[in-house]
Structure 1
């Protein structure tokens, strides 16, 4: 079976052609040879019997007269007949009266002899019609007429020789027929298999990508039609390949243009982020410094409104940047230690003043034991989710209350399940519009956007952040009866010796006795940040580019260096690398203060050798917290883990 499967079409065609011819030739040759041999046997028997029958009447006289000489003469004459081996005459008592035989052959090989018998009867002549034999005595009369018999021995040599000749002729004829059949089958097989083999080679070439292989159209039959179809297929594939190559070239070109446009968009986004954050840092910083001065109630109200508007603008910018990161899949989460209750309280504290001004009650309902929970995660992103939910609740609630309900459950010794639900008594959302609230740039309807403002990015970003943390963000609402937004995330427990570092913003004496170097080229930011640092008790040295920072650090010792990244002469990255090469200043904390807030900017700062990163615009409390993390007297390794 395996061998038969491995035969090619040429061999199979020959077998199909020769096999039936071989079987038919063998059958016909065997049949006709058998018939011819039977005829030869009958002819030999007929000849021998004929000789015996003709010799029997001639020996009648010699048998009756007992003339042996006459008998011998007859026998010798008959012995000259070809292939007669011996002749004998026997009387009625079966005694041999005469016997003659041929001389023994010289080869003395054993010869088969066929024996033929013929009776010798007394010949009676009817003398008259009136004297017929009696019917009743017919049998006895025949017995009385029996005189003896003639025995003739015929040699089988003639039969054997003729038989061999017949077999030889039949074999030669069969072989000739088979040879002729084989040659014809070979020719037919070649004419059939050669075009098919050519087509197979052409198909292999087409499969390998050579579509210019052309097959000759041998005949106007099935093979010719198949060759035409293969040629048409090759032409179609060649055309399709050319179109595919053109499409691929267009796709490659489009991809390159898209990547170039994406790079241009990223560069533009980075530039716009930097250009927006730089003046906003000055505005927000000045407003915070203004709040520390003596103001009338009217001035304080104006300052608060300006601060709120600036922070809202900053939130819009941050939402756009976060959404851009999420679209690129480049959003990364931190894993640091923090206290859950302090995080929730600080998030709610941001809206306490606004809620009070609008006559709303902001309530915090916490489960007992929450104040002791120290966990690991990304507090910045969790705060971002909570601030977004609280901001929406405050925005869409005109009367009533806003309640923050927190629950937690330990799943095991390592992980807890944290749930925070924000209830409001605001305008609510209809069920058919609720499912679209988490789609980007979507709000309940266009009138909501016109009345309350907003980009529609807050909830999509919040849900994406929750899902990235392994949790969920769900909403329940009835139109006119308020809404409930529930955040659920798993958080691993921190080790007992790890505590979140949350500095108090009211401690203005934490920087007393420490000298810091501020590297900033923007005059407004120089004024704002320097004022913030001095209000925190730090002694400030100010330079405007990276080269000056390198020479200043080389000459003086500082508790920390606040480094902008985009600087003239030498940028902040190169200045940091040069400072790290100074043997005596290699361990000085360098903190990036930059308006570059896109994905990868933080990593670029850390790879350059900076210890931490603070994006502009920032609050005075953020600046104080990050300085306390690095300037406070504690081991370097512990400090790094706190960042």
Structure 2
């Protein structure tokens, strides 16, 4: 026990001396800091007061540009030994007078940029004071500089005094602590013993014994209070642990509920998307049905007019036919966009000659270019040959880019370039098809939205140039389906460059090729052709076209009537519409194939949707898509002429 007691005693003595010395030292430093602050503040106040006097006395001299009077006023500052420089400046910054007289201005101080105030710079104090006229208007600037030598002397004297005081107080504290160390070591040892037992047993119910109300008693009380708080916190932690498990369970339940809500929202979005697709399909059918009649009747009227020699109405008929085909292209664009969004757009894999395809598109676009006085130019690299891709979608994308260039360029130049180059950072060659024009160009703000559906670069462009804003959006989506993309460089007023990037052989699935149409010349028929459609106008137009080709035609306006007519006339071919009320085309087709007397009759489905796989599974022989192309219809009829001859 003597050794530990002696060790603790030395530590207590050292601790008390260190604390006392540190406290005295900090107090001395605080005193010196405050003394320095007070001296600097007093010096600044004195300098500011002196500056105010100088500004007031020199105001008349500044007003009258009296340099001599101003110099006399500044000369009086030499009685203030700490003033090392003083200057008076005119509003323009020009020096009017200075003290000492031979001191030059270190910088001009114009009134417009002068800022009043005191600044401490190194061993100097600088004051900038505005000089005001009797009316209160600033008319000049007074600048005074004072040294801080007298402040430093006072601080050194105070530091010497405090150092001596610290030495005397330290010796007194050391003598006192040596005498009374035993009074402190006893309670400290007791406190250390309790702390050791608490640390070893983690029994926070133990308490140290207090021997008085002095500082050690406060320390013991604080230690006991700490033990009480730790004991209370330990109890609360146990309670909180149980509560936390309940909160975790509640949060888990909430997350499950949120996930269920998200799944429900997803299902609702999918239902909405299906409803949109159904709406587009129905609306497309409703639009295509009268459009089909418009196109067919325009062909009939044109042929009748040509045969009757009514040349004066031919331009109007051609305009009707052209407007109808334009409307058809808009409907097709909307349906293509819907298919892409629904993930139902398929691409064909075929090898085709790129230069030949480009020349074909240029020939189609040439009238559009000539309409606005534009010239077309084509440059093709020697290594551009065949690629494997969907020729129809590549052709349509290039046509859209060229038609836009022709539309937004007047009396300019449109150049198409074809090259095979790798993309940056890759060695794989890609096809680059660039369309460059000298048209109106596109601003950076417009570039951010030109590939959005139904949006053009600027409001009002659709009224000025026409269009729906679908061409670029569809072209980019087509290219992305083919594994590529479209990039654009443009500047307002300086034309645009659209570049179509395509891989030379993207891995895309094949689609079923459509049957090729043959010529419209028909062979003699063994039986009539039965047309089944709920639109009487379309029925009449189709019947007139087939009758002109020497075909015997029967018509029916619904599914049940079509089945009855088929059983009566035993047709050689049935052209059946898919979307009909009461009994749709699929039900009628199924009834045909289930009836042994009708099962062998070929059925051509007339539809607006890409439902080839379903039709083939039900037994359909061919597909025709609305609006019906006359050559395709005649080709399908001609295809089955062999059966008619049996």
TM-score per shorter chain, which class?
0.5 to 0.7
CA distance in 1 between counterparts of 2:349 and 2:484 reads: 15
Deviation, 1:328, is 2.6
CA 1:426–1:408 in 2, change beyond 3 Å: closer, same or farther? same
Contact kept, 8 Å, 2:368 with 2:403, in 1: the verdict is no
SS at match of 1:562: strand
Equivalent of residue 411 in structure 2, options 373, 381, 399: 399
Where do residues 278-357 of structure 1 align in structure 2 (5 Å cutoff)?
A: 278-294=289-305, 299-335=313-349, 347=361, 350-351=364-365, 353-355=367-369
Task: Please give the per-residue CA displacement for 1:256-304, whole angstroms capped at 9, x wherever unaligned.
Answer: 4434433333332222222122222222322233333326666333333
**Matches of 1:513 and 1:352, distance apart in 2:** 43
Please give the alpha-carbon distance, in whole angstroms, between the structure 2 residues aligned to 1:229 and 1:565: 68
Q: Distance in 2 between matches of 1:339 and 1:528?
A: 38
User: Residues of 2 paired with 1:348 and 1:616: CA distance?
Assistant: 27
Q: Distance in 1 between matches of 2:631 and 2:383?
A: 27
**2:246 maps to what in 1?**
235
CA distance in 1, matches of 2:363, 2:522: 23
Alpha-carbon distance in 2 for matches of 1:536, 1:419: 46
What is the CA-CA distance between 1:573 and the residue it aligns to?
0.7
In structure 1, distance between residues paired with 2:420 and 2:636: 29
Change (3 A) 1:304 1:348: farther
Q: Which has the higher contact order (CA 8 A, sep 6+)?
A: 1
Match of residue 637 from structure 1: none
Distance 2:352 2:591 in 1: 34
In the alignment, is residue 540 of structure 1 matched against residue 553 of structure 2? yes
Q: 5+ unaligned residues in a row in structure 2: which ranges?
A: 1-200, 203-229, 422-427, 507-511
Aligned match of 1:606: 616
- Residue number in structure 2 paired with 1:459: 472
Secondary structure in 2 aligned to 1:489? strand
Q: Give the C-alpha shift of residue 423 in structure 1.
A: 4.6
Taking structure 1 as reference, are residues 484 and 584 closer, same or farther at Cα in structure 2, changes over 3 Å only? farther
From 261, 280, 286, the equivalent of 1:275 is 286
Task: Determine which of 614, 619, 632 is the counterpart of 2:629.
Answer: 619
Q: Aligned with 2:348: secondary structure?
A: coil
- CA root-mean-square deviation: 4.7
Cα pair 1:388 1:459 within 8 Å, conserved: yes
Asked whether the 8 Å contact 1:517–1:560 carries over to 2, the reply is yes
Question: 1:160-200: CA deviations, max 9, x gaps?
Answer: xxxxxxxxxxxxxxxxxxxxxxxxxxxx99xxxxxxxxxxx
Bigger-Rg structure (1/2)? 1
Q: In structure 2, how many angstroms separate the alpha carbons of the residues matched to 1:288 and 1:278? A: 16
Question: Aligned in 2, Cα 1:553/1:290: closer, same or farther, shift over 3 Å?
Answer: same
Aligned length: 408
1:88-237 matches, cutoff 5 A: 224-237=235-248
Offset from partner CA, 1:462-511 (integer Å, 9 cap, x none): 11111211233333445445444343434669xxxx9997657xx44257
Show CA shifts across 1:347-386 (max 9, x none). 556545555555555667778999x96x865444334323
Check the 8 A contact 2:453/2:470 in 1, yes or no: yes
**For residues 228-266 of structure 1, what are the alpha-carbon distances to aligned partners after superposition, in whole Å with 9 as ceiling and x for unaligned?**
111221332244244334434543443444344333333
Return the alpha-carbon distance in structure 2 between the equivalents of residues 619 and 433 of structure 1: 39
SS at match of 1:446: coil
* 3-state SS, counterpart of residue 292 of structure 1: helix
Ranges in structure 1 where 5+ consecutive residues have no aligned partner: 1-187, 190-218, 410-414, 635-643
Aligned counterparts of 1:503 and 1:423: Cα–Cα separation in 2: 36
In structure 1, distance between residues paired with 2:277 and 2:255: 31
**Structure 2 SS opposite 1:466:** helix
Matched, 1:247 2:261: no
SS of equivalent to 2:624: strand
Q: Paired residue for 1:517? A: 530
* CA separation of 1:229 and 1:537: change in aligned 2, threshold 3 A: farther
Name the SS of the counterpart of 2:265 in structure 1.
helix
* Alpha-carbon distance change, 580 to 397 in structure 1, aligned in 2, over 3 angstroms: farther
Tell me the distance in 2 between the aligned counterparts of 1:385 and 1:623.
27
Change (3 A) 1:463 1:258: closer
**Among candidates 395, 398, 408, match of residue 386 of structure 1:** 398
Q: CA deviation at 1:591?
A: 2.6
Mapped partners of 1:350, 1:366: distance in 2 = 18
User: What is the distance in 2 between the residues matched to 1:485 and 1:292?
Assistant: 41
Give secondary structure in 2 for the equivalent of 1:614.
strand
Contact kept, 8 Å, 1:513 with 1:538, in 2: the verdict is: yes
| CA pair 622-267 structure 1, distance change in 2 beyond 3 A | same
Give the 3-state SS of the residue equivalent to 1:303 in structure 2.
Answer: helix
Matched position secondary structure for 1:563? strand
Q: Distance in 1 between matches of 2:641 and 2:431?
A: 32
Q: Which residue does 1:428 correspond to in 2?
A: 441
What's the TM-score once normalised by structure 2's chain length? 0.52
Distance 2:429 2:560 in 1: 50
Cα distance per residue 1:15-41 (max 9 Å; x no partner)? xxxxxxxxxxxxxxxxxxxxxxxxxxx
Q: CA–CA distance in 2 between the matches of 1:272 and 1:322?
A: 14
1 CA distance for matches of 2:514 and 2:430? 19
Contact 1:477 1:483 in 2 (8 A): yes
The match for 1:564 is 577
Structure-2 change in CA distance of 1:306 and 1:262 (3 Å): same
Given that residues 431 and 503 in structure 2 are in contact (C-alpha distance below 8 angstroms), is that contact kept between their aligned partners in structure 1?
yes
SS at match of 2:605: strand
TM-score, normalised to structure 1's length?
Answer: 0.52
Tell me the CA shift for residue 565 of structure 1.
0.6
Give the structure 2 partner of residue 526 of structure 1. Answer: 539
How far did 1:331 drift? 1.9
Report the alpha carbon displacement of residue 438 of structure 1 after superposing the two structures with TM. 2.4
Deviates more, 1:426-435 or 1:400-409: 400-409
Contact 2:517 2:632 in 1 (8 A): no
